[in-house]
A and B are shown apart, each in its own frame.
Chain A
Amino acid sequence: MKHSEPSDTPDTNDAHDAHDTTMSPFAKKLSLWLVGISVVLGLLDFVIHRHGYSKIEEMPLFFAVFGFLAFLAVVAGGVILRVFISRSKDYYDE
């Protein structure tokens, strides 16, 4: 991890990019705002009745939970798919 490296190590190695979890102060602030907005949006579900076509849709927090899980599922699906269909970048040139 980047933040656990000694500070005098030159930042030349690209290998740790993927696991670079350090966030800029701006990104941290933005994330906090996002969490705040999410909480408000979630709470609104208990104030406003969303009229939907189905009972499931009208359940409180349906869209919040579905959106969150769907995003994780899409990413997970991509990772699983990668195992089967990812080839070297020169695949068609060989």
Chain B
Amino acid sequence: MMSSFLHTIATLPPGLLMVLGALFVPFLPKMPRRIWMFGLILASATHAWSIDYGQHLTASFLGLDLILVRANEFTKPFMVVFHIAAALNIIYSIHANCRTTETSGLAYAGTAVAALYAGDFATLFVYWELTAVTSVFLILKGGSERRLGAALRYLLMQVVSGVLLLGGAAALWSQGGDLTIGALDPMSLAGGLIFFAFGIKAAFPFLNGWLQDTYPEASISGTLILSCFSTKLAIYMLVQCFAGVEALIYIGAVMTLFPAFYAVIENDLRRVLTFSLNNQLGFMVVGIGIGTELSLNGTAAHAFAHIIYKSVLFMAMGAVKLRTGTTKATELGGLWKSMPLTTIFCIVGAVSISSFPMFSGFVTKSLTIASTAQEGYLVIWFILIFASAAVLEHSGIKIPYFAFFGHDRGYKVKEAPASMLVAMGIGSLLCIVIGVFPASVYFMLPYEVTYDVWSVGHVLGEFQLLIFAILAFVLLMARGLYPPEIDATVLNADWLYRRLAPRIIMAIFRPIWAAYQLIIVGARSILFDLIRISTSSFKTTGFVSNTMSSSFAAAVFLAIFAFMLAFRFLNM
């Protein structure tokens, strides 16, 4: 009995265990709930680890051949880091003690893991929508009007992405019915639709507005959880379907650049991190576009390291938000005195994302950057090096500097709660372990890593780039030339549907509305005139209702009769 139950569990798609288990989370008391959630993650991870490459579970549904469990050489690194993130998220959220966040967060992580194992587009579509549905509660939680608006905009973009994916799947079906996830031509109808579906979730240029708009509106734990899964699932799927598509190199390069400039002027530090997240996705997208073993290794490794160091940064800013009530640069500063440990963890996250040697960003991002040079994309290589200096600016310096140093605002706050510190501590430790022992990630990568990340020239070049960039920062600060932070709204791609589209719709419908109004008003005034004339005519004193003498009536009839007679004779 027990063994057959375990056998059933072992054939389920990994992650689904977390989704089903999440249904019990709202009904469990505090401690058992956490043990239950960790148990689910561990069980899911153990099960997933044992899955070999190939198809394992297929099903037939409404004439569709579904592949529910399928793994290839890219699945493992994403699977492992998704489970690590899910576990860190639980530890970090202990302080908030919120059933909605915990249930939603676990189900969301589980759906994302299960999606990694989807082998066909119909199955993927189901998970694609489920990641949106399970995660929207993270934004909705709290229920203020602002959050409701953000949640609706988030859901709208996720559903549009899902509909495009469904359209692509339908197009594939009509072409012969093979829905297996594999290489697609983005210039075909099906490929194009799916390309855009992935593009929305991976925050391509101009499709990225939802990311910066909605993530920072979620709760403290909510923003952290959101930052881990959806976008990286999109990266994973781009690898599966569009590896080597040259357009991705240029799309990715734009993604590394534009959000970086935005991050310089954005005041809300959690929003700065979402721009930074977008910029990191750009590096991964370039790697997918290059499509060589080195670059695809780079994308997978970068996604792995990125989820962890980005989590550490979001956790640190979450702790700041919890203690001070804000993450606006204009309201923060000098927190290192009261939050020393959070400061240290934030700095570890910052140097990791800036890819200082001995930290996780260096041993992962370098693979992608090297691949652009190796394949002769010199301009792209320049852009990525430039973007690396930009990462140092917004995530390496701006985040820790404005929150923990800079102008001391005199906050006397407590250090972050123990649970948050533990989560940040583990995350920071992983950043260092990966940085010092890159083999800890490399062994999971799809191809053997032959690139020598520790070559003296490479390490020296990286140090020079970063240290001289910091020198530029110090120079700007010392001269008072560093632009002051301003509490403002920075227009981003979400402006397109929040302001431009409504304006266009208004511009089209306003004349129609005006014409409609004119007709209605005109018709109404004519109608009123008719009613007025007829009431005045038919009322008791009116012209029609007047009493007249019978002789007058006889005279009228006689006159009509005479006229008719005359008419008759004249026509003869």
Q: Are B498 and A20 in contact (CB-based, < 8 A)?
A: no
Closest to B393 in A: A74
CB distance from A29 to the nearest CB of B (A): 12
A55 to B385, CA, bound (A): 16
Select which of B261, B407, B460 is within 8 A of A50 by beta carbon: B460
Q: A50-B457, A72-B472, A86-B490 are in contact. Are A67 and B389 (CB under 8 A)?
A: yes
CB distance from B45 to the nearest CB of A (A): 38
Q: Which residues of B contact A41 (CB under 8 A)?
A: 460, 463-464, 467-468
Q: A53-B374, A72-B476, A74-B389 are in contact. Are A67 and B468 (CB under 8 A)?
A: yes
Q: Are B469 and A51 in contact (CB-based, < 8 A)?
A: no
Q: Are A38 and B489 in contact (CB-based, < 8 A)?
A: no
Select which of B265, B407, B492 is within 8 A of A79 by beta carbon: B265
Closest to B491 in A: A85
User: Which applies to chain A's interface (DSSP): helix, strand, loop or mixed?
Assistant: helix
Q: Are A85 and B484 in contact (CB-based, < 8 A)?
A: no
CB distance from B567 to the nearest CB of A (A): 74
Question: Which A36-64 residues have C-beta < 8 A from chain B?
Answer: 37-38, 41-42, 44-45, 48-54, 57, 61-64
CB distance from B376 to the nearest CB of A (A): 8
Select which of A48, A64, A82 is within 8 A of B483 by beta carbon: A82
CB distance from A91 to the nearest CB of B (A): 4
A11 to B114, CA, bound (A): 57
Q: Which residues of B contact A18 (CB under 8 A)?
A: 480, 483-485
Closest to A17 in B: B407
Q: Which residues of B contact A89 (CB under 8 A)?
A: 487-489
Select which of B466, B477, B483 is within 8 A of A67 by beta carbon: B466
Closest to B390 in A: A74
Closest to B463 in A: A41
Question: Which A4-36 residues have C-beta < 8 A from chain B?
Answer: 17-21, 23, 31, 34-35
User: Which residue, of B390, B468, B476, has the highest number of chain A Cβ atoms within 10 A?
Assistant: B468
Q: Are B386 and A73 in contact (CB-based, < 8 A)?
A: yes
Question: Which B437-468 residues have C-beta < 8 A from chain A?
Answer: 455-458, 460-468
Q: Tell me, yes or no, whether B473 is within 8 Å of chain A by CB.
A: yes
Range of interface residues on chain B?
35 or more
CB distance from A21 to the nearest CB of B (A): 4
Q: Are B464 and A45 in contact (CB-based, < 8 A)?
A: yes
Q: Are B393 and A71 in contact (CB-based, < 8 A)?
A: yes
Q: Which residues of A contact B485 (CB under 8 A)?
A: 18
Q: A21-B478, A92-B498 are in contact. Are A34 and B467 (CB under 8 A)?
A: yes
Q: Are A67 and B478 in contact (CB-based, < 8 A)?
A: no
Q: Are B457 and A71 in contact (CB-based, < 8 A)?
A: no
Q: Tell me, yes or no, whether B67 is within 8 Å of chain A by CB.
A: no
Select which of A38, A49, A51, A92 is within 8 A of B467 by beta carbon: A38
Q: Are B472 and A21 in contact (CB-based, < 8 A)?
A: no
Q: Tell me, yes or no, whether B479 is within 8 Å of chain A by CB.
A: yes
Q: Are B483 and A75 in contact (CB-based, < 8 A)?
A: yes
A74 to B260, CA, bound (A): 8
Closest to A15 in B: B484
Q: Tell me, yes or no, whether B530 is within 8 Å of chain A by CB.
A: no
Q: Which residues of A contact B265 (CB under 8 A)?
A: 78-79, 81-82, 86
Q: Are A52 and B457 in contact (CB-based, < 8 A)?
A: yes
Q: Are A75 and B264 in contact (CB-based, < 8 A)?
A: yes
CB distance from B372 to the nearest CB of A (A): 9
Q: Tell me, yes or no, whether B572 is within 8 Å of chain A by CB.
A: no
Select which of B385, B457, B467, B482 is within 8 A of A37 by beta carbon: B467
A48 to B479, CA, bound (A): 33
CB distance from A41 to the nearest CB of B (A): 5
Q: A41-B464, A52-B373 are in contact. Are A81 and B456 (CB under 8 A)?
A: no
Q: Which residues of A contact B463 (CB under 8 A)?
A: 41
Q: Which residues of B contact A35 (CB under 8 A)?
A: 471
Q: Are B471 and A68 in contact (CB-based, < 8 A)?
A: yes
CB distance from A67 to the nearest CB of B (A): 4
Q: Tell me, yes or no, whether B474 is within 8 Å of chain A by CB.
A: yes
Q: Are A67 and B491 in contact (CB-based, < 8 A)?
A: no
Q: Are B474 and A31 in contact (CB-based, < 8 A)?
A: yes
User: Which residue, of A18, A66, A67, A82, has the highest number of chain B Cβ atoms within 10 A?
Assistant: A67
Closest to A90 in B: B489
Q: Are B480 and A42 in contact (CB-based, < 8 A)?
A: no
Q: Which residues of B contact A52 (CB under 8 A)?
A: 373, 457, 461
Q: A37-B467, A78-B265 are in contact. Are A51 and B457 (CB under 8 A)?
A: yes
Q: Are B390 and A34 in contact (CB-based, < 8 A)?
A: no
Q: Tell me, yes or no, whether B262 is within 8 Å of chain A by CB.
A: yes
Q: Are A64 and B373 in contact (CB-based, < 8 A)?
A: no
Beyond the given A18-B483, A72-B476, A78-B264, please list 10 additional residue pairs across the A-B interface where CB-CB is below 8 A. Answer: A20-B407, A23-B478, A51-B455, A53-B370, A64-B465, A67-B467, A70-B465, A70-B469, A72-B472, A78-B262
Nearest 6 CB-CB pairings of A with B: A78-B264, A18-B484, A50-B457, A53-B373, A70-B389, A67-B465
Instruction: Jot down 9 A-B pairs with beta carbons below 8 A, ordered by A.
Output: A19-B484, A21-B478, A35-B471, A45-B464, A67-B466, A70-B386, A70-B465, A82-B265, A89-B488
